[in-house]
Structure 1
Amino acid sequence: MLYEPKWSKAKKRLKSFICAPLQTRIDFQVINYRNAHDQLGRAVITVDKVEKLSMCTITAEREEYYRESEIRRSLNNVEFDNVEFNREIQKQAHQQLEKEGIYAQYDFFTALERFFNSPIKESLESSDSLIKILSLLDRRVGKRTLRNMKDSILDEHELVRYFYELRCEAESIHILHLHNK
């Protein structure tokens, strides 16, 4: 699934949401592999031209397969004929990957659409780390809101805490470093 409408338009729209102090520091790239069977590849968020989050479809799907196998082994159930059971196993595996910060390119596209179509307050409160990261970079999130998040952010994934810290630093909001929870 390639991004529709056009990635260039979506990227321009996404970049328009980035707060002023981070405008030149944050970038988003989508790299598609022409020879891949589904033509998907990676989505990348860079800070100062350094990859901070790479969402590779091949890596995510491989890891999801491993997680599904582990779940099946732990349940001692290798039945593949039960569609409902298979979906539940896949859902559990995908949730594990999200908790670990392992995403596919299509996860980024899904998060992007939800971000574009939700109020900023809802995006900030999302349980999806990708949506939360995008909202932390958003110019509509003010300093007071950022300050008020300092306690709740401790419960977030380390990637979310990294982007929160980056935004606070860019806005000259002094907080304790959160990387090592």
Structure 2
Amino acid sequence: MLYHPKWSKAKKRLMSFVCESLYSRIDFQVINYRKAHDQLGRAVITVDKVEMLSMCTIIAEREEYYRERDIRIQLDNFNYDNVINNRAIQGQAQEQLKTEGIYAQYDFFSALEKYFNSPIEVSLKSNDMLIKILCVLDRRVGKRTLHKMKESITEENTLVQDFYKLRCDAENIHSSE
């Protein structure tokens, strides 16, 4: 499943939302592996050319398999014939991965789609770590909103906190203000 509005167009649109203070420092890349069975690879967010988040399909799917296996061991449930049960276990495994910040390339595209099609106010309230990161980098999120996020950001994943700190530093917003 390759991303359908062309990645170059999506990237251009995504970059148009990046705040001015980080525009030259942030980059989004999609790397597809043509020889992979599904031709998917990974999506990467870099800051100053250093990978901050790599969303690799192969790693995510491998980890999902391990999580599903662990859940089945905990539940002592190895009945693979119950479709509803299988989906519930898969959903639980996927939630664990998202909590840990393990994403596949298609998760990035899915988050991007939601981000592009939702007002910034809605995206800011999202439980999706990727959408939160995109919001923190978004030029539509001003200094006042960033300042208001100071309390709630401590409850977020450390990666979201890292991007928040990066944005605050770039905007000269300090915790003492």
| TM > 0.5 | yes
Q: Which runs of 4+ in 1 moved over 6 A?
A: none
Following superposition, the deviation at residue 5 of structure 1 comes to 1.0
Tell me, what secondary structure is at the counterpart of 1:77? coil
Deviations 1:26-78 (A, max 9, x none): 00000000011110000000000000000000000000000000000000000
Equivalence for 1:22: 22
Gaps of 5+ in 1: 177-181
Q: Tell me the distance in 2 between the aligned counterparts of 1:2 and 1:135.
A: 24
Deviations 1:73-130 (A, max 9, x none): 0000001000000000000000000000000000000000000000001111100000
Following superposition, the deviation at residue 175 of structure 1 comes to 2.2
- What's the TM-score once normalised by structure 1's chain length? 0.96
Equivalence for 2:140: 140
Equivalence for 2:159: 159
- Percent identical among aligned pairs is 72
Q: Tell me the distance in 2 between the aligned counterparts of 1:122 and 1:137.
A: 15
Tell me, what secondary structure is at the counterpart of 1:54? strand
Specify the code of the residue in structure 1 equivalent to 2:93. A
Equivalence for 1:94: 94
Tell me, what secondary structure is at the counterpart of 2:21? helix
Q: Tell me the distance in 2 between the aligned counterparts of 1:40 and 1:158.
A: 27
- What's the TM-score once normalised by structure 2's chain length? 0.98
Tell me, what secondary structure is at the counterpart of 1:29? strand
Equivalence for 1:174: 174
Equivalence for 1:83: 83
Equivalence for 1:32: 32
Q: Tell me the distance in 1 between the aligned counterparts of 2:159 and 2:83.
A: 34
Aligned-residue Cα RMSD (Å) equals: 0.7
